Amino acid sequence: MNSSVRVLSLFVGVATCAIAGSNPALAQTAATPPGPGVVSLGEIVVTARRSAENLQRVPVAVSVLNGQEIENRRITGAQDIQYHTPSLVVSTDALGGSTAPVFQLRGQVPTLGTDDTVVTYFGDVPVNSRAFSGGLFDLASIQVIRGPQGTLFGKNSTGGAVVFTPEKAKADAFSGFANATIGNYSLRQVTGGVNIPLIHDKLAVRLSGEIVKRNGFVRNLSGRDGADRNYGVYRASVMATPTEDLRNETEFQYFHGRQYQNPLITAAISVPLITFIDGPAIAALVQSQFNHQQQLGVRTIDYSFGKQNDDNDVYIGTNTTTYHLGGVTLKNIAGYVDMSPRVWLSQTSLNWPLVDVLQNKYYNTFSDEMQASGETDSLKWIVGGFYSKEKTKTHQEAYLFAPFLTTKTDSVDRYTSKALFAQGTYDFTKLGLEGVKFTAGLRRTWDSRKGVLNATTFLPPPPTVNPEINNRRDYANWSWTLGLDWQVNSDLLLYVASRHSYKAGGLNLVSTLEPPALQTYLPEKLTDLEIGAKTTAHIGDVVVRSNVAAYRGWYKNMQFGELANCGQVASYVVNAAQGTPKGAEFEAEAALTRNFQVGGFYNLTLGKFDKFQLIQPPGCRTIGFGQNLNGADFGNISKHTVGLNASYTVPLQAPNEAIVVSGNFYWRSKRVGSATEGTNSAIPGYSLFDARVDYNNIGGRNISMGAWVHNLGNKTYIAYRNNVLGLSGYDNQAYGDPRTYGVDIRYKF
């Protein structure tokens, strides 16, 4: 057996034995129910396998935040989620803007310009992650599913999936809520919703919305302040159940944002390189601007060359129809997404533009998934098909080293995906193996990409117009899942699983001078092995729920960004590496008393390149360092992450009246970085502490108030870094939010 697998097996074995050894209830017999006065942690329902199941009985590494936790922990944007779940990192898109979240799980981050490694879902519909730049409200849950996804979820992915499930309309009762928040930096936030039954138990509509405005925490002496909040989100949900067997759910959401970038602050410049490119006079001007920035610090800039805008409009529509036909459930999931992000991003925030980029995109996609599923005493099965069609139009203008040197490109990328899938779980109880189940799933996917690129390069003078490039690439790939799990008793699940999936290949629509070898890139593929245990322990009056998982992966054709000069300097995606991701995750929560609950997580994330070699076609010159990274660490991982949370409830006299004090601590070790640096540059670790006090159901009424603070210690920490001193002459950094605080009032009816 491979040494890495032995280490991971030992980790799970030790963790499981430690839990079982401290809790006699984890023997072969069923556990004794909690005694009087003990508060159960409650059942958590997940849909990680496309059906509603108890979290503790699903052989999948998944974390869940329910609607109440999302509200209590003030999770208002995608980046907030990472502080409450293991292995998840949410970073910034290097060109998409500070509100374009990039989801990373188990050290797997998408290369700039490629598809998402972690696919995000609005309900059951895959959507671009940019749709979740704000407005996380009125949600039933957020599920973070770790590991390759390919047989059941709508799109293939190597990292995992994050599923945002909105609250559904309910036809049983009229209800609603209204929240208002004020805070520092002139924060004003209003959120509300109403659920209206139109026909009792047959038809209902739910309307909700949120408006957020906040001044930027980066002052700009010559323009709009950066890192502000200015958006609105509006949602409508309709639920119809004309018969007991037929259910139809329709969701519509519109996001409207007009915000400004969290500016990139220049930490260092290379005067010799800038002198070589632009001459001594320009180099002296840039040096003067850099010196001025150093005097201003990291929370102030003096920038007026570009707008630094971060605008976005997102329309999402979904429709899910479910019909029960005897012992078979038929389900159709249709979705449409229309998105128009428009950004200006300065790489230095200096008024002399070393690298300033304007990028306007138009993205739309239609998807449809059909399923048939059923269940007998021993077999649970699902079969289906998936279809999606995406179109992305991009207009980009790059101002490089001087306002008069401009490259303009227009491209269209069309991506069509079709798939057939089947998965089944067989229970061996009737064959004498009580609690033992075997799962197998298989999926065949056909992908097609077509691209058109037009580029015009303006050099002083005259402008040059390059010929149009048309390209097409078709792929067909298998994905599969194999798993064995054993429900030892009602409180202990052991499982082992192996999965194989991929992330789609694509087209480099960046330069009309690119040679054929750089015009396309292949899908990257990941096979993994995961072992885990899920336990619920009753130790006296204390209830403890814990989940542990360890994994090892085999990565092939890893997509990697390469800067090359093929007559024009451009960044290309190439299949440069094979790698080995591995690690371990541990989550636990405990009800120490009826009123005192604690929880936390730890994850170890590792990854190394086994083989690494950039491509250098004839006539091209690869720029930069680290052309051979054999044996090097993945450059985008923090090896250790810890999260801790606690809440204490003080009951008062009136029904449900209480004071709740809660806090959350998060620590991340340094990011190791890689020899290629760039967006994989090393970043120091940091820790954050959030606290909150709530007075719930004041006087027994449905009104509550709360006070909260984020980043209590006002830590200044680097959230993003791009060190390209040797390539472009700068090292830039973006900083996370400073201390923010506020109060809110909530009313439910």
All structural domains of the chain, each given as residue ranges with its CATH number in brackets, are 3-308+317-322+330-748 (2.40.170.20)
State the Cα–Cα distance between residues 607 and 524, nearest whole angstrom.
Answer: 16
Show Cβ contacts of residue 694 under 8 Å, excluding neighbours closer than 6 positions. Answer: 72, 659, 660, 662, 704, 705, 706
3-state secondary structure of 271: helix
User: How crowded is residue 52: how many other Cβ atoms within 10 Å of its Cβ?
Assistant: 8
State the Cα–Cα distance between residues 468 and 260, nearest whole angstrom.
Answer: 33
State the Cα–Cα distance between residues 367 and 154, nearest whole angstrom.
Answer: 9
Is residue 15 very low, low, confident or very high in pLDDT (cuts 50, 70, 90)?
Answer: very low
Query: Which pLDDT value is given to residue 14?
Result: 34
Q: What angle do CA 657, 659, 665 make, to 5 degrees?
A: 140
What single string gives the DSSP state of each residue in 89-123? EEEEETTTEEEEEEEEETTB-PPTTS--SEEEEET
Show Cβ contacts of residue 404 under 8 Å, excluding neighbours closer than 6 positions. Answer: 458, 460
Q: Taking the mean position of all CA atoms in its chain, how far away is CA 651?
A: 37
Identify the bridge partners of residue 260 per DSSP, sorted by sequence position: 309
State the Cα–Cα distance between residues 91 and 343, nearest whole angstrom.
Answer: 17
Q: Which two tokens stand for residue 242?
A: 């004309």
User: What b-and-e string marks burial along 252-274, b requiring 16 or more CB atoms within 10 Å of the CB?
Assistant: ebbbbbebbbbbbbbbebbeebb
Q: Looking at 143-147, 619-623, 741-745, which range is the least confident one?
A: 619-623
Mean pLDDT, the chain, integer:
89
- Using the structure block, give the residue that is written with the tokens 């989940």: 547
Q: pLDDT per residue over 255-288, tens digit each?
A: 999 999 999 999 999 999 889 888 899 899 999 9
Residue 17 has pLDDT above 60, yes or no: no
Q: pLDDT per residue over 630-657, tens digit each?
A: 888 888 899 999 999 999 999 999 999 9
Is residue 10 very low, low, confident or very high in pLDDT (cuts 50, 70, 90)?
Answer: very low
Query: Which pLDDT value is given to residue 36?
Result: 45
Q: pLDDT per residue over 480-533, tens digit each?
A: 999 999 999 999 999 999 999 999 999 998 887 788 888 899 999 999 999 999
Give the residue, 232 or 50, on which the prediction is more confident: 232
Q: What are phi and psi of 295, to 5 degrees?
A: -70, -30
Query: Which pLDDT value is given to residue 113?
Result: 82
State the Cα–Cα distance between residues 546 and 440, nearest whole angstrom.
Answer: 26
Is residue 680 very low, low, confident or very high in pLDDT (cuts 50, 70, 90)?
Answer: confident
Helices 280-296 and 271-278, interaxial angle, to 10°? 140
Residue 438 has pLDDT above 90, yes or no: yes
